[in-house]
Amino acid sequence: MCLAIPGRIVEVIDEANRLAKVDVAGVRRTVNIGLLDGEDGGVAAGDWVLIHVGFAISQVDEEEAIATRRLLEQMGVEYEQELAELKASAIE
């Protein structure tokens, strides 16, 4: 549960609840983006974010996202476990 994994926002699907569809290494799931709401309106489709327990906790640039993903892939089982848990998630 400690990992924060990078994903790219595909689209905001529920404005009121701040839910967005993200793509994490080919897996598409719903996460909450409300913690990144700021004066500038928050994150939007196309942005990369780090995702922790179903919430985007920080916005990163593409290079950082890809480097983080590479690092996590090298971790092996823990990353696979995290992806498996994400796959089982069905946030509405």
Partner 1 sequence: MKFVDEFRDAELGRAVAAEILAAVEPGRHYKLMEVCGGHTHSIYKYGIDDLLPANVELVHGPGCPVCVIPMGRVDDGIALAHEPGVIFTCFGDMLRVPGSAGTLLDAKAAGADVRMVYSPLDALRIAKANPGRQVVFFAIGFETTAPSTALTLKRAKAEGVTNFSCMCNHVTIVPPLRALLDSPDLRLDGFVGPGHVSTVVGARPFEFIPAEYGKPIVVAGFEPLDVLQAVHMLLRQLSEGRCEVENQYSRVVPYEGNLRALEVMAEVFALRPHFEWRGLGFISQSGLRLSDAYADFDAELRYGVPGVRVADPKACQCGEVLKGVIKPWECKVFGTACRPERPIGTCMVSSEGACAAYYNYGRFARERELV
Q: Residues 8, 12, 25, 55: which binds partner 1 (CB under 8 A)? A: 55
Q: How far is the CB of 21 from partner 1 (least distance, A)?
A: 14
3 binds partner 1 (CB under 8 A): yes
Binding string, residues 22-51; x marks residues near partner 1 by CB under 8 A = ---------xx-xxxxx-----------x-
4 binds partner 1 (CB under 8 A): yes
CA-CA distances (angstroms) from residue 72 to 10, 26, 56?
21, 15, 17
